[in-house]
Amino acid sequence: MAPRERADAARNRRAILLAAHRLICENGVDQVSMSDIADAAGVGKGTLFRRFGDRAGLINALFEQLTEDWEPEALDRLGDTAAEPVDRVVAFIAGLFDRITVPGRPLLRAMGAHATPERVRRYRIWQSRLADVIAQARPDLPEEEAGFMAYVLLTLPRADFVDLLEGGGMTIDDVRTRILSHARLTVTGRPC
């Protein structure tokens, strides 16, 4: 078993995550260097790199932090057979949008390009769980079709896609509404 994390190490880890999050939100993820983050956190670069390995590791840790208190509950609700399957699917996408895409946009913006194995793994879990529920909603569909739908629905609440839509004149609420109604339409196969 790994020994308990030393108090100073834990304190610095928190300071780094906090500073990184703040700087990225203020300046955009690729206007922030690792030295900036170390300085703002009041630690040396060595500390930062030892803790998180490299830049991708730090970004990944920020992503973990963003998802960790949403994901378990969201997956539970997705599997909760008390509600209609289609409603569960739409609610999952809504939660993803509200809890991850919107608050994490400055962070997520540059992440698509450098998807780490860890994030791809998590993404696939979501896809697979969604596919199950879509298959429940649409027993008429071939299995792979449900799987593909899950991929499509998950690709809508992407930071760069939302950016594009906003740049085209939609408000963030318009974007949310459109994505969700498109999701419902896709799953049910008929207009809402």
Partner DNA sequence: TAGAATACGGACTAGCGGTCCGGTTATGTC
Partner DNA sequence: GACATAACCGGACCGCTAGTCCGTATTCTA
Residues engaged in binding its own copies (CB under 8 A): 109-110, 112-113, 115, 120, 123-124, 127, 144-145, 148-149, 151-152, 155-156, 160-161, 164-165, 167-168, 178, 182, 185-186, 189-191
Q: Which of 1, 3, 140, 144 binds DNA (CB under 7 A)?
A: 3
Which of 25, 40, 56, 102 binds DNA (CB under 7 A)? It is 56
Nearer to its own copies (CB atom), residue 10 or residue 115: 115
Separation CA 80–CA 77 (nearest Å):
5
In the bound state with its own copies, the residue whose beta carbon lies nearer, of 8 and 54, is 54
Q: How far apart are CA 122 and CA 128, in angstroms?
A: 10
128 touches 73 (CB < 8 A): no
153: left (phi over 0), alpha (psi -120 to 50) or beta: alpha
Q: Which residues contact 53 (CB under 8 A, 6 or more apart)?
A: none
Nearer to DNA, 37 or 96 (CB): 37
**Number of CB atoms found within 10 A of residue 80's CB:** 11
CB of 113 to DNA, least distance (A): 14
- Our CB check for DNA shows the closer of 34 and 40 to be 34
Distance CA(176)–CA(174), nearest Å, equals: 5
Question: Smallest distance, Å, CB 139 to its own copies?
Answer: 13
What six digits make up the tokens of 33? 């260097």
Interaction site with DNA (CB under 7 A): 3-9, 11-12, 33-36, 42-47, 49-51, 54-56
